[in-house]
Amino acid sequence: MDQEASFYQFLEDQKVQCELCAHRCLIRPGRRGICHVRENQAGRLVSLNYGRLIAEHVDPIEKKPLYHFLPGSKAFSIAAPGCNLRCEWCQNWQISQAGAEVRFDRLPYVAPQAVVEDALRTGCRSIAYTYTEPTVFYEYTRDVARLAKSAGLKNIYVTNGYMTAEALIEITEWFDAANVDIKAFSPDVYRKMTGADLGPVLESCRALKKQGVWLEVTTLLVTGINDDRPQLEALADFISTELGTETPWHLSRYFPQYKSKAPMTSSRSLAMAEEIGRKKGLKFIYPGNVHASVETRCLSCDRVVLVRDDYELLENKLVEGCCPYCDSKIAGVFTGD
């Protein structure tokens, strides 16, 4: 499929400027952007990975992770190859960093309608754009999401948040929930470890919140990179003061992957991050990749209302999104309408 890209400007000598993500690549004819999936073909920017899915799975929504959005439901999860960041610890690097090598025309083409039909057939309540970076297959996510919305499904972006403000506004027309991965909180560390800038990620979080998209934040704790007290305090402070104390913060354990030589995240490091988050006022902090029972408590009466284990929802006591003991509303989206 020869899918023209959205969000770009024509420049002189057939050059183009892509404005989908905050890299804003200037691309000469015959060349690709940093993500390797958008190509300047004689002055026309083309999305090479449109409909070229490299992963399709039915996942528990808790795996995204989203803990306050339709708990216990299934999310039809899809990915096309590519990413606009270069994290050395990427947990999905085989597909996220595949843009440069992959022959897109050899991947099967999946029409947007087929994704929606598969989601409905498998009993999913949402479609999640995940595993790689959905921003870099934006046009496809938009086309699937429009159809999904008409079919009564929710749409979920699992993203690094590195899109432009103009792209984000359009995305929020179709998307109901997002999990943004804030990978570090020092601009220098962020730039060095991902090849990108922290500022646009924070702007995206603010904008998603403002646009009413349900937002949860994830931080993969990588020893020696982003797990020092100053970064974690600043990150927790940002979530608490700018996104709200009831924004869930997922602290994920890292396992050695790809180019990074960091060891597995220690339990001590996870506990320190959680303690920092609590001191900054965050109400919902969840460990990830730890194989443990994870509870959500009502903020009013402190009774347990949700319990999960390894992405499986074990208990859901909520009644229409409220605590069954004291009737207080729990932050999140718990009914499907």
Kindly state the smallest distance separating residue 52's Cβ from ligand SF4, in Å: 15
318 sits in the region (left: phi over 0; alpha: psi -120 to 50; else beta) called: beta
x-marked contacts with ligand SF4 along 160-199 as a string, rule CB under 6 A: ----------------------------------------
Edge-to-edge strand order for the sheet containing 26-27? 8-10, 16-18, 26-27
Kindly state the smallest distance separating residue 140's Cβ from ligand SF4, in Å: 13
x-marked contacts with ligand SF4 along 83-122 as a string, rule CB under 6 A: -x--------------------------------------
Reported as type and span, the H/E element at residue 39 is: strand 38-41
Q: Does 25 bind ligand SF4 (CB under 6 A)?
A: yes
Q: Which stretch binds ligand SF4 (CB under 6 A): 31-39, 153-161, 216-224, 256-264?
A: 31-39
SS3 169: helix
Asked if the bond preceding 256 is cis, omega within 30° of 0, the reply is no
Q: Does 35 bind ligand SF4 (CB under 6 A)?
A: yes
Q: Which stretch binds ligand SF4 (CB under 6 A): 32-40, 107-115, 173-181, 313-321?
A: 32-40
18, 90, 95, 207: residue in contact with ligand SF4 (rule CB under 6 A): 18
Distance CA 155, CA 149 (A): 7
CB nearer ligand SF4, residue 20 or residue 75: 20
In eight-state DSSP terms, residue 241 is I
Query: What pairing do the DSSP bridges indicate for beta strands 285-288 and 293-297?
Result: unpaired
Q: Does 142 bind ligand SF4 (CB under 6 A)?
A: no
SS3 258: coil
Q: 177 exposed, middle or buried (CB, 10 Å; 0-12, 13-18, 19+)?
A: buried
Q: Which stretch binds ligand SF4 (CB under 6 A): 28-36, 179-187, 202-210, 258-266?
A: 28-36
CA nearest neighbour of 208 among 251, 144, 158, 245: 158
3, 6, 14, 24: residue in contact with ligand SF4 (rule CB under 6 A): 24
Query: In Å, how far are 27, 37, 52 from 19, measured between CA atoms?
Result: 11, 14, 22
Beta carbons of 88 and 220 less than 8 angstroms apart? no
- Chain-centroid distance, C-alpha 37: 19
Q: Does 204 bind ligand SF4 (CB under 6 A)?
A: no
Q: Which stretch binds ligand SF4 (CB under 6 A): 21-29, 63-71, 115-123, 124-132?
A: 21-29
Q: Which residue is nearest to ligand SF4 (CB)?
A: 33
Kindly state the smallest distance separating residue 334's Cβ from ligand SF4, in Å: 34
Chain residues in the site for ligand SF4 (CB under 6 A): 18, 20-21, 23-25, 33-35, 38, 84, 136
